[in-house]
């Protein structure tokens, strides 16, 4: 019995070694020669700047100047997108060494009716002319790129973090089997991100899993194994309370929804042009 016990402990220790040895990637942001254009074209990003996250077959890079943090994230294999189109892509910021959600920017595509888009534009830039409104109302709906600043509980903090322009921007571009996300995020004293050239910070990337709406729909149609269309079976516990999504031992999506992804890196912002 003693031999079996010690052998088991040794096996557990060996299995734990890869986890203990895993380190958060440390990456450098570069200072661009000129402001980067947010168009999804990565040709203006220098190849040595890219870092790879093999677990999701993705490459990413940072750049910054005195006014903006630029970020590009490239999915080389779109099977890792999971439910990104529903959950959006969130970039989290925290102090160095803290791999914990604190303040994030969720970037997403939204379909708005023409009247909803008019309201958004007027809130952002002031009243539109009647001629412009008439032109926009001729089209029933629009797909737009938008961002929301959120805290660790997902609560909207946009007005507090960005009380005034400039505001974050992003775009996506799909080509040759890749999906590119490119971002421009204002830094400096004008917003609540507390970012500045030369500063070190922890950055997290998160996407996939299930939104509250997806979970509600799954429950309503009895998506959980044994479900009857109105919720969880009597006496069953919700095994996915945060909507993270899980996979079974074979790597296939379980009844709890699509795969959730999050990983972190420590970033050193460039202090000045070199």
- What pLDDT is stored for residue 1 in this prediction? 52
Integer Rg of the chain from CA: 22
> How many other C-beta atoms are found inside a 10 Å radius of the C-beta of residue 173?
14
Q: Strands of 178-186's sheet, edge to edge? A: 51-53, 58-64, 68-75, 178-186, 169-175
- What pLDDT is stored for residue 216 in this prediction? 85
Kindly report, residue by residue over 236-268, the tens digit of the pLDDT.
223 233 333 343 333 444 456 899 999 999 999
Kindly report, residue by residue over 159-186, the tens digit of the pLDDT.
999 998 899 999 999 988 899 999 999 9
CA distance 7 to 13: 10
Do residues 91 and 100 touch, judged by C-beta distance below 8 A?
no
Could you give all domains of the chain from N- to C-terminal order, each with its CATH number?
A: 25-108+157-209+261-268 (2.60.40.10), 210-257 (no CATH)
- What pLDDT is stored for residue 184 in this prediction? 97
How confident is the model over 227-243, as a mean pLDDT? 34
What are the phi and psi torsion angles at 132 (to 5°)?
-65, -40
Buried b (16+ CB within 10 A) or exposed e, 225-261: eebeeeeeeeeeeeebeebbbeeeeeeeebebbbbbb
- pTM of the predicted protein model: 0.77
CA distance 41 to 172: 9
pLDDT band of 105, cuts 50, 70, 90: very high
Q: C-alpha 156: how far from its chain's center?
A: 15
């Amino acid at each position: 019995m003693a031999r079996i016990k010690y052998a088991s402990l040794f096996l557990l220790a060996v299995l734990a070694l890869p986890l203990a040895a895993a380190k958060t990637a440390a990456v450098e942001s570069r200072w661009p020669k000129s402001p980067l254009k947010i168009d999804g074209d990565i040709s203006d990003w220098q190849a040595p700047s890219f870092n790879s996250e093999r677990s999701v077959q993705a490459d990413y890079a940072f750049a910054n100047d005195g006014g903006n943090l630029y970020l590009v994230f490239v999915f080389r294999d779109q099977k890792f997108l999971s439910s990104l189109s529903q959950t959006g892509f969130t970039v989290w910021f925290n102090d160095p060494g803290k791999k914990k959600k604190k303040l994030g920017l969720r970037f997403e595509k939204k379909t708005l009716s023409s009247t909803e888009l008019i309201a958004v534009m007027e809130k952002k830039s002031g009243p539109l002319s009647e001629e412009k409104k008439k032109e926009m109302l001729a089209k029933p709906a629009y797909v737009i790129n938008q961002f929301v600043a959120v805290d660790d509980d997902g609560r909207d903090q946009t007005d507090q973090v960005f009380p005034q322009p400039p505001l974050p921007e992003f775009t996506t571009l799909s080509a040759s089997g890749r999906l590119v996300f490119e971002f421009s995020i204002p830094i400096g004293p004008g917003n609540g991100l507390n970012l500045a050239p030369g500063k070190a910070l922890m950055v997290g990337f998160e996407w996939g899993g299930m939104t509250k709406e997806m979970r509600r729909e799954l429950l309503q149609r009895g998506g959980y194994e044994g479900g009857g269309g109105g919720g969880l079976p009597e006496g069953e516990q919700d095994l996915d309370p945060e909507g993270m999504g899980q996979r079974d031992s074979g790597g296939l999506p379980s009844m709890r929804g699509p795969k959730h992804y999050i990983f972190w890196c420590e970033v050193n912002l460039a202090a000045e042009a070199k």
